[in-house]
Homo-oligomer: A and B are copies of this chain.
Amino acid sequence: MQDPSDNSEVPGAIEIRRAHERIRGSIRQTPVISEQALDEMLNCRVFFKCEHLQRTGAFKFRGASNAIALLGERNTKGDVATHSSGNHGAALALAASLDGRKAHVVMPENASPIKIEAVRRYGGQIHLCEPTQAAREAGLARLVADGHLAIPPYDHNDIICGQGTAALELFQQQPDLEIVVAPVGGGGLISGTALVASDAGVITMGAEPAGAADTAASLKQGKRVESFQPDTIADGLRALVGVRNFDIIQAHVEQVLTVSEEEIREAMRLFWQTFRMLIEPSSAVTLAAIAQNPDLFAGRKLGVIISGANIDPADWIKLTSEIA
């Protein structure tokens, strides 16, 4: 049995079940929804796990809650720090605050204003930086040097196990799925999902914007790409896939599909037409990938993790009204 505090070992489904026990009192058990007309249009059955209805508006609250709860279990005191384009930052701010800690969040200057405002609202302290991976990491290094505890956004077992609890719940709520599809950014969600799915005999597929397809490229060349310039409206998926995340993806993810910006916009609109909910672009890559690959999914029973709802309604309108 692995100890989830030992980050040299890949966690398994058992650690994810433990993470779920640990956080279930503070997270929401988000609903799973489907709609027949959409299924008919897509020619498959799709069950959406609504993690955009999670506290702080994104699945990230699961990983942050697990990491914070483990600090308590390990008797580690102190404030926490991270870098984030927004959702992990807000999630960490709330999870820390519920535990009586302060969260320091390094955010790129081009982060969405509503994501910056949310970090602040949940009690986080914001440290703006240039919008590069190097600047984000340097900002975090300074906070760690000041004595804060780093809670990385995805490349960490505690985070991966927390994010995996979304799929764990999904498989309990809808037990007969054949395939689960999740978006790929830093890889926290997809790697946790793949570990649970693998244990449950469910195939995992990823979806990535073509403008931030470092994971698809890494899989193709059999080695993790170490730098790239993301160019996509899906602000939550611009990060480079993490080292340990990529290892898990290589071992457990069947395929990572890529979608165009236009396809993301169309999927955002389709989701609203069907369910009357606004989702952020990062959430829509999965639905876009399903719509664009009918042969791959025809007749199958799919679970899809909708990852976040943190988009300004004005931005949602702007993005979806630009559909060609």
Residues of chain A touching chain B, judged by Cβ–Cβ distance below 8 Å, are 28, 30-31, 33, 35-37, 50, 52-53, 55, 57, 98, 121-122, 272-273, 275-278, 309-310, 313-314, 316-317
Q: Are B53 and A277 in contact (CB under 8 A)?
A: yes
Q: Which residue of B lies closest to A272 (CB)?
A: B313
How many angstroms between the C-alpha atoms of A121 and B50 in the bound complex?
24
Q: Are B313 and A278 in contact (CB under 8 A)?
A: yes
How many angstroms between the C-alpha atoms of A55 and B276 in the bound complex?
10
Shortest A311–chain B CB gap in Å is 8
Q: How many copies does the complex hold?
A: 2
Answer whether A55 and B35 are a contact pair too, CB < 8 Å, given A276-B310, A313-B278, A313-B313: yes
Q: Are A53 and B275 in contact (CB under 8 A)?
A: yes
Shortest A259–chain B CB gap in Å is 22
Q: Which residue of B lies closest to A29 (CB)?
A: B31
Q: Are B276 and A57 in contact (CB under 8 A)?
A: yes
Q: Which residue of B lies closest to A36 (CB)?
A: B98
Q: Are A309 and B35 in contact (CB under 8 A)?
A: no
Known: A28-B31, A52-B276. 18 other contacts (CB 8 A): A30-B31, A31-B31, A31-B50, A35-B55, A36-B98, A37-B121, A37-B122, A53-B276, A53-B277, A57-B275, A57-B276, A121-B273, A272-B313, A276-B310, A277-B278, A278-B313, A313-B317, A314-B317
Complex contacts, A55 vs chain B, CB 8 Å: 35
